[in-house]
Amino acid sequence: MQNETKNLVDKGELLPLMEDFYTIQGEGFHKGTAAYFVRIGGCDVGCHWCDVKESWDADLHPPTEINTIAAKASSHSNTVVVTGGEPLTWNMDPLTSLFKEKGMQVHIETSGAYELSGTWDWICLSPKKIKLPKDKIYEVADELKMIIASKSDFKFAEEQALKVNENCILYLQPEWSKREKLIPLMVDYVMANPKWKVSLQTHKYLNIP
């Protein structure tokens, strides 16, 4: 990456855009609603079950002007979801400022592994054991989405639930490839611990992005 381009990326004026598309939100609190998704490349958290591993290497994705990203998103929807990769790898302040200027509702899906930047109307926090969230994001998260890949993940989920604010909505979501085995466990767990809700990747059942 050339120095000038790298400087603009570091400032958040260019971002490594993997893909962007208009679809139906499939998970968590806003499932079933239309939204424009902006997937930013770059992630070093390294979840073994990640279903977008191609997003990890930021160098594979072209540095894209944020004006272009914002204009395209606003032409499709008044709600945008910034996801990754791990979007907080980069400075989100410039991009979210453009979205807000266009009157958009701005959501993020993040592991919280990097310091929070950007202006958000909804923060979906999905912590990972290998790189825990920064402290500040627990205070402002709107929903906590815990991926359950094994029985031990219930304990991790409870540990993370103790850290979020009292208004944060708590979700358990089965790791997709093990869903047949895990869903019965999750149903029993939520019935015994009703502070939690079940989240499913409904977009995969609907066969949409």
Q: What is the CATH number of the domain that holds 54?
A: 3.20.20.70
- Pinpoint the alpha helices (H) of 65-194: 66-76, 93-101, 135-140, 152-161, 179-192
Closest by Cα among 173, 165, 104, 102 to 137? 165
Question: In degrees rounded to 5, what are phi and psi of residue 169?
Answer: -85, 135
Q: What pLDDT shows up at residue 48?
A: 81
User: pLDDT tens digits, residue range 53-101?
Assistant: 889 999 999 999 999 999 999 999 999 999 999 999 999 999 999 999 9
- For the entire predicted model, the pTM comes to 0.95
Structural domain count, the chain = 1
* Structural domain boundaries, residue 155: 3-206
pLDDT for the residue numbered 121: 98
